[in-house]
Copies of this chain bind each other. A is one copy, B any other.
């Protein structure tokens, strides 16, 4: 499959380059009858908008979304929803010099190897701006999921060695700070640390956690299209993500079965668990508990510090990447993680609808 389409029933196709005319997305398979406005999308896009934090690129992009199709009289029609965001601040001249060499940590070299050349302006398609379309699609998926009683809590869990204080977790605080961290003390320590990193002309890694509540048990297809496998792909496909953990994540490889197995109990007449080491997924299928995923983002590869690299003439050179860059990826990427999870969970919920004869007969029999 070519690279820019994802999903089986809720199908997302994104397009656009960092410094092209526009970026956009086509969402096909959105069910008919969903009330949808551009404002529903804009709320999500604003969470990744550049230029509005001391910790993000000063590039100012309004990122105003326009819906071009698929909505009629305020409701989705079941046909493709095309959404576009026009680029308004393409200072291509910032990037002219990167046409001839390969920035370390970037996709310049690999795009050249794959395609023979590349749109070098701001990274072209490999830019973080590529996620605009993902978030627009994710806003729709998340709205549908909310109507089904499913909600998301997404936040930055660490910045460098500054970890959040889980004892002070305050979900309401997440949207109140530009680092999207869930406690004030951690935000303040991280801010200070980030300022130092920026002063050093360096950048820093971070991690993002996403917790999904209300997913019914039974979602995910056994074997290759397990819920966790599909989530891992969706989130790992975000640029700069280098590790994915579900539930206890890497710690499971150090733990014993007697610890790791979440025992079942009856609670209010329902099968329940007291622990959730599994992160809400057993055998690739949701078990009704919270879905818990953590994504690890590397530091922004664009740094003004001197680096060694090579140019297209095959010469060793020393460079310093100028331009307008975020010093950290996680905060603006949190909504991208949430979007990719929403898209994936919704798609698997659609896939799940034909799992049993009883469900099918109930759907089709009058």
Contacts and interface: CB of A to CB of B under 8 A. Distances in A.
B31 A205 contact: no
Interface residues of A, number: 168
A108 B223 CA distance: 14
A189 interface: no
A167 interface: no
Given A242-B247, A303-B261, A2 B9 contact: yes
Given A114-B285, A114-B352, A261-B104, A298 B5 contact: no
A297 to B, nearest CB: 6
Contact of A265 (B282, B286, B316): B316
Contacts of A130: 223
B3 A222 contact: yes
A247 B220 CA distance: 28
Interface stretch (A46-54, A169-177, A180-188, A232-240): A232-240
Interface string A59-90: 00000001011101001111111101000000
Contacts of A221: 1-3
Given A257-B303, A271-B310, 4 more contacts: A1-B9, A13-B28, A115-B355, A277-B298
Nearest to A231: B236
Contacts of A29: 1-3, 354
Contact of A118 (B77, B105, B206, B219): B77
Copies of this chain present: 4
Nearest to A148: B364
B104 A222 contact: no
A9 B354 contact: yes
A24 to B, nearest CB: 6
Given A15-B70, A242-B245, A256-B203, A358 B299 contact: no
A342 B149 CA distance: 36
Contact of A107 (B75, B250, B283): B283
Contacts of A21: 66, 68-69
A4 B80 contact: yes
Contacts of A109: 217, 264, 271, 282, 287
The 3 nearest A-B residue pairs measured at CB: A107-B283, A2-B29, A3-B221
Contacts of A323: none
Interface string A308-348: 11100011100000000000001000000000000000000
A1 B8 contact: yes
Interface in A20-36: 20-24, 26, 28-29, 31-34
A300 interface: yes
B113 A285 contact: yes
B1 A266 contact: no
A302 to B, nearest CB: 8
17 contacts: A1-B11, A2-B225, A4-B80, A5-B224, A13-B28, A15-B28, A15-B69, A15-B80, A15-B82, A16-B80, A68-B84, A114-B285, A224-B234, A224-B237, A244-B244, A263-B307, A266-B315
